[in-house]
């Protein structure tokens, strides 16, 4: 029960409801006036100097009292008969049963078993005080629907622009604010239902956050897919999981540098789309070969590839793997250059430099750009050896450290053939 009947028609004649009849008697047999606003289904009740709203069925809303108030105003009928002075003069007394078997209990907004006598008493008190709860039709539903739409839009905006936890916190605060406002208005007699706006806000925020999570997951998956072309799987997993930056360290690495001979001249003769297509096909296979041999593509600079072995993960046979990788890239490049479409543009041969040594490694940069890279003489020497192939007419040059550390030098023919060219003059940056 949320409302009481103000009046009913019996044989075409209106009769006041129980609470209204008792209120009229308490006011000195005052005659209440009932009516309907023209052009609407909004009824009204004029009771003395007070005008109160009714719904289309001639009912008025009631606000059930709390258990403490009900207990304070409840008395035993026998006690009142024996001692009427328990109540002050002028008190209105309703006598009735609160037994379930006598039909004296009804479900209400504040509980499944609410005494009907107390509901009538609630309506009577509100009629006498002239403070009936008001739910204006159709203003209240329209306001609730408008609040639901605006709140849902705000929740979507918050969830899209802010971090998830902050968006959830602000959404909960928004819903809490709606309920607090509704309770504050209810204390003044205006009834607005915050359930619909709250549900709309919660659903909108959940949908926006779910959509954002799906898009972020797809973005990370695309990024991880691209990174897997260059980095070991464990490194990709660390980066995509938001793990902390790689600590700086000093470790032995093998550096491998590649370059395409005559590529600068090629850029002058090919259209941009042709150049990108040629380079894309070449780089896809070269980076795949590096990954297959356990290496990490450190950088791609123009037509050059910088790769590291034994970084960032330990690789027991990194020198031999780097040399096998260099041989595989050379064999690929020869085959690739023989393809008709590649040969037609004059794609140059690949030069490779390899050297082993100690290097300093770690994540460099902050914010939007972080680069895991290596610094050391082995890096510089590998780059110079790659360039020295041009003068010697060779395709692969390896430094003395790599040659000394490789076990492949013990084998000839089918595996790899390492030959000495003697001293080769290269220029390295001076050490501080």
- Whether the pTM exceeds 0.85: the reply is no
Ranking 191-195, 303-307, 385-389 by mean pLDDT, the lowest is: 191-195
pLDDT digits (tens, 9 = 90+) for 5-60: 887 778 877 788 888 888 888 887 667 777 777 766 667 777 777 777 777 677 87
In contact, 2 and 62? CB cutoff 8 Å? yes
Rounded distance between C-alpha atoms, residue 321 and residue 426, angstroms = 25
Please state which of the four CATH numbers 3.40.800.10, 3.30.70.1230, 3.30.160.270, 3.30.465.10 is assigned to the domain occupying 246-410.
3.30.70.1230
DSSP, residue by residue, 289-329: HHHHTT-EEEEEETTEEEEEES-SS--TTHHHHHHHHHHHH
Q: What is the mean pLDDT of residues 109-130?
A: 81
Mean pLDDT in residue range 98-127: 80
| Contact present, 7 and 17 (Cβ < 8 Å) | yes
Look at 223-232, 294-303, 318-327, 343-352 and tell me which has the smallest mean pLDDT: 223-232
Asked if residue 189 lies in contact with residue 140, where contact means CB atoms within 8 angstroms, the answer is no
pLDDT at position 123 over 60: yes
- Domain map of the chain by residue range? 3-129, 139-227, 246-410
Least confident of 84-98, 146-160, 384-398, 412-426: 412-426
Average of per-residue pLDDT across 361-376? 69
Residue 111 has pLDDT above 50, yes or no: yes
Mean pLDDT score, 300-311? 91
């Amino acid at each position: 029960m949320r409302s009481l009947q103000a009046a009913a028609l019996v044989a075409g004649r209106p009769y006041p409801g129980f609470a209204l009849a008792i209120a009229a008697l308490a006011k000195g047999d005052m005659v209440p006036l009932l009516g309907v606003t023209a052009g609407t289904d909004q009824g009204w009740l004029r009771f003395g100097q007070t005008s109160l709203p009714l719904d289309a069925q001639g009912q008025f809303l009631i606000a059930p009292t709390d258990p403490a108030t009900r207990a304070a105003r409840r008395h035993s009928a026998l006690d009142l008969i024996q001692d009427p002075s328990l109540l002050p003069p002028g008190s209105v007394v309703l006598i009735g049963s609160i037994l379930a078997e006598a039909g004296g209990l009804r479900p209400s907004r504040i509980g499944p078993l609410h005494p009907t006598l107390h509901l009538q008493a609630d309506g009577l008190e509100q009629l006498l005080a002239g403070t009936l709860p008001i739910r204006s039709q159709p203003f209240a539903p329209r306001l609730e629907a408008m609040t639901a739409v605006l709140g849902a839009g705000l929740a979507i905006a918050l969830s899209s622009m802010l971090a998830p936890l902050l968006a959830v916190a602000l959404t909960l605060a928004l819903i809490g604010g709606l309920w607090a406002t509704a309770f504050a208005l209810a204390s003044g007699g205006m009834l607005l239902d915050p359930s619909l706006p709250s549900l709309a806000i919660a659903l909108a925020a959940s949908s926006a956050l779910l959509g954002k999570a799906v898009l972020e997951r797809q973005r990370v998956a695309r990024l991880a897919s691209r990174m897997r072309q260059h980095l070991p799987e464990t490194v990709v997993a660390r980066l995509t999981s938001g793990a902390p930056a790689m600590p700086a360290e000093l470790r032995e690495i093998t550096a491998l540098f590649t370059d395409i001979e005559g590529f600068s001249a090629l850029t002058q003769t090919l259209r941009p789309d042709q150049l990108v297509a040629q380079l894309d096909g070449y780089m896809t296979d070269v980076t795949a070969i590096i990954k297959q041999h356990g290496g990490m593509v450190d950088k791609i600079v123009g037509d050059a590839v910088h790769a590291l072995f034994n970084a960032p993960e330990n690789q027991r046979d990194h020198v031999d793997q780097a040399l096998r990788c260099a041989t595989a890239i050379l064999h690929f490049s020869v085959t690739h250059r023989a393809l008709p479409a590649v040969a037609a543009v004059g794609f140059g041969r690949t030069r490779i430099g390899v050297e082993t040594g100690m290097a300093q490694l770690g994540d460099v940069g902050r914010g939007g750009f972080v680069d895991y890279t290596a610094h050391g003489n082995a890096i510089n020497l590998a780059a110079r050896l790659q360039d020295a192939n041009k003068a010697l007419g060779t395709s692969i040059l390896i430094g003395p450290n790599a040659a000394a550390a490789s076990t492949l030098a013990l084998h000839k023919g089918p595996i790899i053939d390492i030959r000495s060219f003697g001293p080769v003059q290269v220029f390295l940056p001076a050490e501080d």
